[in-house]
Structure 1
Amino acid sequence: MLAIIDYGVGNLFSLSRSLEHLGVNCQVTRSLTELKAADHIILPGVGAFGDARKKLEELSLIEPIQALAASGKPFLGICLGMQLLFDKSEEFGEHSGLGLIPGRIVSMRETFDRENIDLKVPQIGWNKLTVQNQHSPLVKSLGKNDFVYYVHSYYATDCQKYLVADSEYGISIPGIVQNKNVFGTQFHPEKSGEVGLNILKAFTEVPA
């Protein structure tokens, strides 16, 4: 069984529908008993980093999530859920992340202003995903011209060692990251058509 963590932040309906379309038995839950019983776990997320971190704290989920990831259980963060995997974020002040993947989350707007890049922020829409690490199980079905759907204003940096795939948007935007059994996608696989479904399917096939 796959568990989707429900902490009040995230597009749970479309994600669960995508998994059901793949024939995956999934459950939206915040129960620690159910999370511990799950074979795979997904942490979704939309909105601001600090607000999401606060909701996880209020539900006493920070340490259990860290323990579940440390146990070796396949764990996937999506969009803001991916950003929460990192050490810290600079979105509206400095906030601590879950510390599951080394690196930090920074402002795309500030980077563009500093480097004189004239592109819209947030990045909204389809972008080509380029695989940088062929050994990750999440990219086993990806081709050379596959596109995925992004909606974000902040991005991960200082994480080159954990980069699996990226997209070019003025700068290199980490699209998929991995640290052992912990994975993250900055884009929304549940909104990325067949490519996204293949990535979700690949995650569900990672040995638990």
Structure 2
Amino acid sequence: MTETPNPHIIDADTLTGEMRPIRRCVLAIGSNLGERLASLQGAVDALADTPDVWVTSVSPVYETEPVGCPEGADNFLNAVVLIDSTLSAATLLDRALAVEDAFGRERDGTANAPRTLDVDLIVVGDRRANDENLRLPHPRAGERAFVLRPWHDLEPDAVLVDSGPIADLLEGLDQSGLKLRDDLSLEIH
């Protein structure tokens, strides 16, 4: 994974004149409450409507068994969205949280609680962050088949920063809880 699809492309912020590189970003989206597919499509649309974000591809949809969720949680629909963006990682995180909130995401403090929408930043270029609000790359991405499988569908040669090729990581994971949903798809509008 490179810092930008073309390292010579730079976007100048029209207000400040600040130069910001375009970074390839990977976002994982998931839902296990309500109209799951509609929530995922809404997330793709909201990301595409974000200034300085360009959705470049969306993975197939997978249905996955809940991981670490409370007893009785319904299956998730999961996908990965690839974007190019000049936004900072912190701004992208703020946008991801706003999109979740717009789709009724409730946070009651229960770990891995069922949710209408989850939007996780997996990587933002080759950025690294480790503070209380933002950790990049996502600390559990390399352990999650429901992130790596759809990402692999889009970029089989991708590398998770500090962890290695996603193809190698995926080989070491149990994928039995993943089911490709050929009957469902997400579109870039």
Q: TM-score surpassing 0.5? A: no
Q: Judging by fraction of residues, say which structure has more strand.
A: 1
Q: TM-score, normalised by structure 1?
A: 0.30
Q: TM-score, normalised by structure 2?
A: 0.32
Q: Judging by fraction of residues, say which structure has more helix.
A: 1
